[in-house]
Structure 1
C-alpha cells in the first residue's frame, strides 16, 4: 500500500528528469541457451529493441516512470514485468518457454453482423475526430468482436497485435487489445491493453512538421500534460484550473434522468489540496474527499484569483475516484487506470489521440 507525504507537495523540474538504461538477457527455459531476435519493449512507450546473438539487450534513454516490460518471441510465451524506473536497471536473467500447442479443431461460422459490429468498434476505438479519419487498422482480421443485443454491449479483444497506422500523428501503433467494452445503455466505454509505438518516416520535411504539430495538439490539455505540470508546479501557468465537484446520489433516480446531483465550489483548489508525493521515489498520488473538476482554457495563464468569464471556451473533465487515491508517475500516467474515471473531455480520448507514455514535446526554439 502506498503512503503519501501530506505536509508538502514537492515540485520537480520536468527538464531535470533523467534518462535511464535497462539491460538484461533472454534465455530459453528448457536448455538455457540465448534467444537472439526477441523483441523487448516498454508497453505503451516508444522504447524498444531486439536481443543480440548472445541474448543480451539494452534499452537506452528511458524516461523515469513506471512501465511494463514485455519480451516477445514467435513460438514462445510472452514475458511481462512491471518496473519502476528511477535508476539504471540490470535485470536478472529472463527465461521464456516455448508455447505448447493445445489447439483443438473448431468450426468457425461466418458472422453476418461482423462488418456492422466492426464499424461500431472502429468508431469507438479510434474515435471520430479529425485525427481518427487519418487512422487505419491494418489487420482487422485479428479482432474478435461480439455485440450483445439483449444488454446492448459491444465487446472486443485481439488474437494478436492490432496494427494501426496513425497518419495524423505519425506513428505505427501495435496494440494488444486485452479487453474492450461499450455499454450503450449506460453510455460507458472501457478498453485496456499494451502498445508499442514506432515513428513513421515522413516523405517530406513538411509532413514531419505536421506530425510534430499534431502531436503537440494531442498533448496540450491532456491528462498527461496536466499531471506532468502538477509535478512541476505549473498547472495554473499553463491554463488549468481545478475545482471541487460535490456529487451526491439523486434520490429520485428511477433508471432514467440524472443519476447524480452535482454541485461546484467555485473557489479554485491549490495542488496541495488534491496531490501528494508518495513514499516511493517518482510516484505521486491524487487523493480527494469528493470529485475533481478540471478546466483547461487552451494554455493561457490563469489569474491568481482563478476567475474566468463564465468558463466560456474552457474544456472540462470530471475526475471520479473509484479508489481512495490514484497513483501516477513522472510520465503523467496513472499506474492503475481503474482507480479513476474521466467524464467529459478526457473521457472522449481515443486511440487516434494516443501518445507514447514517454512522449516529450519539442521545445520551441
Structure 2
C-alpha cells in the first residue's frame, strides 16, 4: 500500500469520525433544554436552584451564573424551577418542545404570610391535625408506616369547624423519606384540603380529599433490594400510572383492566375516543363516569371532567381532568412512583 493511499484513507476515516461525533452532539443537544434563572427584584443570578421535571428523578441545579442544562423527552411533565424563599416557576411541556433555549427565568420572592385573623376558633390540637394530615397525605397501611416527613414542623395546619375542613400549607418543599419504595421525595405542596363529616359527633370521617403539588424523586441508598423491588411492583400494579400506560398502548385487557359503564362491563375503548397527538394520545371521554376494575377486587370510579393527553410514561395532563375514587385514589404519596419506573 502506498504512503499516499494510506494517508488518504486515514484522512477519510478521521473526517467520517468527526462528522459522526458532530452528529451525536447535535442529536444529544436536541434532547436538552437550557436556561438561566434570576431573582425578579434585581436580576441577580440564582445559584443552586432546583430544576426538575415533575414526577421524575430527572433534575439538576443552577450554577453560579444561574445557568442550567437538562435532558428531556417529549412528554407531559412540566419543568419546575424552585428554591426556598421564592415562588416556583412552572414551564409547560409545549414550551420546552418548541424552545430548546428558554427565555430568562425570573423567580419572585415568596411573600411572608401575614397572620390571618380567623373568626372561628381552631378546635383541633396540632397533634390531631398532623395525624390527620399524614394519614390522608401519606396514606394508610405498611407503605405509609415506612414513610417519614423529615421536616413536618414546616407544615402549617388549620381546621375550620364551620366547613369541617382541614387545610395544610408549607413554605418549603416537604422532604419525605420512603423506605418502603426506596425514595427520598421533595414535595412542593401547592394545595391540601380534606373535608370531613362527623360520625355521632365522636369521630371525623373524610368525605373528600384534594391535594396538589410537584414532586422530585431521589434514590435512597441500599434501595435495590429484592424486597423494595417487590414493593414497587405491588404499588404499581392497579395504580393510576399502570392504567394510563395501558390506555396509552391500548392493552387494557392484557393488563387485566376491565371497564364498566352504569355497572355493566363494556368493550375497553368504547367510551374513549383516542387519537394521536404530538407523540401522545389525546383522550376524549364520551361519558362522564366509568368504573375501572383491576383483576377481581380492585375497583375504582373515574369521573371524567374533560379531555386529556397521555404520554408514553403514563403521565396524563391536565391532572384536574380526572377525579378518582376507590382503590386507585387510596394509593397516596407513600405508594407514588416516578414516571420513569419500569416494571421488571
TM-score class, shorter: 0.7 to 0.9
Of structures 1 and 2, the one scoring higher in RCO (CA 8 A, sep 6+) is 1
Give me the whole-angstrom Cα distance separating, in 1, the residues matched to 2:145 and 2:133: 14
The answer (yes or no) to whether the contact 1:76–1:96 under 8 Å persists in 2 is no
Q: Deviations over 1:162-199 (max 9, x none)?
A: 11101101111111212111112271111111111111
The reply on whether 1:78 has 2:88 as its aligned counterpart is yes
> Residue 221 of structure 1: SS of its match in structure 2?
coil
Give me the whole-angstrom Cα distance separating, in 2, the residues matched to 1:136 and 1:192: 19
Which residues in structure 2 correspond to 1:342-357 (within 5 Å)? 342-356=324-338
Q: Deviations over 1:255-296 (max 9, x none)?
A: xxxxxxxxx223x32325414126444142141224211111
Q: CA RMSD in A?
A: 3.0
Change (3 A) 1:71 1:223: same
The answer (yes or no) to whether the contact 2:194–2:208 under 8 Å persists in 1 is yes
Partner of 2:67: 56
Unmatched runs of 5 consecutive residues or more in structure 1: 1-18, 247-263, 298-312
Larger mean Cα displacement after TM superposition, 143-152 or 132-141: 143-152
The answer (yes or no) to whether the contact 2:244–2:316 under 8 Å persists in 1 is no
Q: Which structure would you say has the larger Rg?
A: 2
Which residues in structure 2 correspond to 1:188-337 (within 5 Å)? 188-202=208-222, 208-244=225-261, 246=262, 264-266=263-265, 268-271=266-269, 273-277=271-275, 279-297=277-295, 313-323=296-306, 325-337=307-319
> Residue 128 of structure 2: SS of its match in structure 1?
helix
Unmatched runs of 5 consecutive residues or more in structure 2: 1-29, 198-205
Give me the whole-angstrom Cα distance separating, in 2, the residues matched to 1:341 and 1:168: 26
Change (3 A) 1:73 1:181: closer
Give me the whole-angstrom Cα distance separating, in 2, the residues matched to 1:346 and 1:80: 27
Partner of 1:249: none
> Residue 121 of structure 1: SS of its match in structure 2?
helix
Partner of 1:140: 152
The answer (yes or no) to whether the contact 1:20–1:87 under 8 Å persists in 2 is no
Taking structure 2 as the reference length, the TM-score comes to: 0.78
Give me the whole-angstrom Cα distance separating, in 1, the residues matched to 2:87 and 2:260: 47
Q: Deviations over 1:2-24 (max 9, x none)?
A: xxxxxxxxxxxxxxxxx943222
Q: CA deviation at 1:120?
A: 1.2
Taking structure 1 as the reference length, the TM-score comes to: 0.74
Give me the whole-angstrom Cα distance separating, in 1, the residues matched to 2:142 and 2:52: 29
Give me the whole-angstrom Cα distance separating, in 2, the residues matched to 1:148 and 1:40: 35
Partner of 2:342: 361
The answer (yes or no) to whether the contact 1:86–1:281 under 8 Å persists in 2 is no
> Residue 352 of structure 1: SS of its match in structure 2?
helix
Give me the whole-angstrom Cα distance separating, in 2, the residues matched to 1:89 and 1:225: 31
The answer (yes or no) to whether the contact 1:153–1:183 under 8 Å persists in 2 is yes
Q: Deviations over 1:313-347 (max 9, x none)?
A: 33111111233x34333332331222222121112
Q: Deviations over 1:101-152 (max 9, x none)?
A: 7676899x99971111111111111111210010011111111111123332
Between Structure 1 and Structure 2, the one with more helix by share is: 2
The reply on whether 1:128 has 2:150 as its aligned counterpart is no
Partner of 1:24: 35
Change (3 A) 1:106 1:229: closer
Give me the whole-angstrom Cα distance separating, in 2, the residues matched to 1:290 and 1:359: 30
Q: How many residues align?
A: 305
The answer (yes or no) to whether the contact 2:78–2:90 under 8 Å persists in 1 is yes
Q: CA deviation at 1:50?
A: 1.1
